[in-house]
Structure 1
């Protein structure tokens, strides 16, 4: 019984090892778009039983804009549109979701906002998301989903 308890405790602790949760008391480290400019470009990968494509602009006008599309069995499942912006000396990652008919998931004036936490080597940590630079042609995105309590890894390639 004691072994099972230790296993479950260890498994739960390690489950989301690549993502962090924002802490209001600690706040955000200072950062600029230059710290994450390596994200710019056209990326592709596989997840959720399909293929995704994500395009990031270069830093311009205080933001890096992106679009994302997931296609399963030759049909679009959903889109995302968003950006990372410089705000108050740090970064903010904002997303809006749309179905295949461009009907928004969030309310008209709402977005999903994820505050920047810190940079550590080749990783940029936002609340529940971590971008990791692997090479000029590869990066990883770790996403923690609150509903399922699951961390998903997206492997991006050029």
Structure 2
């Protein structure tokens, strides 16, 4: 009985973890925006007791820009603005957050930066974020939140 419980716990843990953490010693695999161009488009979903929309541009000028808006009970909760940029033969994911009045959360010249780790099958792994191509009309984004030690999945639908 103990072996069955341990096996179930082990397999649950293995399948629940969809994000990776960047390791300076291993560095980043080589990648370009062409590897993630399937993310371009207008997406919607539900999270944080509300509805979000996220819009990604086509690769252009060495970046794919995005904007994100979360609405709860008809009111803006926050925005994100950012991009995935080609840098040193690989990619980097950068985000800035804003409240409903466009007051920035980060310092004026600061952003949250997430280094690319690797591409594997239909997934692109960044530090604490994984973008997964499911179909032309469905993308999953897994995000690991260090402060709560939780991983969330966002189902993007066109």
Alignment TM class, shorter chain as reference: over 0.9
Tell me the residue number matched to 1:127.
127
Compute the RMSD of aligned alpha carbons.
1.9
Alpha-carbon distance change, 80 to 27 in structure 1, aligned in 2, over 3 angstroms? same
Tell me the residue number matched to 2:116.
116
> How much does 1:157 deviate?
0.3
Contact 1:15–1:151 (Cα < 8 Å) also in 2: no
Question: Secondary structure of the residue that 1:79 maps to in structure 2?
Answer: strand
Tell me the residue number matched to 1:51.
51
Tell me the residue number matched to 1:22.
22
Tell me the residue number matched to 1:63.
63
2-structure distance, mates of 1:128, 1:143:
6
1-structure distance, mates of 2:79, 2:157:
19
* Count of equivalent residues: 156
- Correspondence 1:1-158 to 2 at 5 A: 10=10, 13-14=13-14, 17-158=17-158
Structure 1, unaligned runs of 5 or more: none
Structure 2, unaligned runs of 5 or more: none
- Runs of 4+ aligned residues of structure 1 deviating over 3 Å after TM superposition are 9-16
